[in-house]
Amino acid sequence: MIERMLFIASLGIGGCASVVPVQKAAAPPVERHVYRVDFVVVANEPGKTAQSSSYTLNLEDYDNGEIHLGSNIQINPQARQDVGLKIVASVQPRGEDLLLRDAVELSGLEESQTIHKITTKGDAYLHAGQQALVASLEDPLSHKRYQVSASATRLR
């Protein structure tokens, strides 16, 4: 890759001018890893049995991944809205651990045609093979409790 051009001119009778490329040494490639990140979302409503769902993303260091699961519902004749689960995440190596940067959104349509949404955004440290709590939320209206956990496994 040519980073810049160097112009060399010789002054004299019959002199000529030429352009000589100056190349910068290529940096060695940086080793990147791919991780399987498993998310578990547990919903616990008072008086009912807890329900859990699992989701998986394969992520390379520093890249973002997303999970979208839900429905596109009609709010009124002119408007529609996506509701369900959305997880956006990235991983960054930190020594033996991984820093998980995440955003989680849970939304749904209430019986009164109102959309209810709970969101969280944060960081969590994941140690290989161990599950870590990413977020714990309680819906202030229904008192339904949500817990999001994650674990990571290095694939390569």
The tens digit of pLDDT for each residue in 40-71 reads 999 998 889 999 999 999 999 999 999 999 99
Q: Does residue 46 belong to any structural domain of this protein?
A: yes
pLDDT at 1 (0 to 100)? 43
Assess if residue 5 is contained within a domain.
no
77 found inside a domain: yes
What domain range includes position 140? 34-154
Beta bridge partner(s), residue 119: 105
pTM attached to this predicted model: 0.75
Q: Say if 74 falls within a structural domain.
A: yes
Q: Is position 71 within any domain?
A: yes
Domain count, the chain: 1
Q: Is residue 23 assigned to a domain? A: no
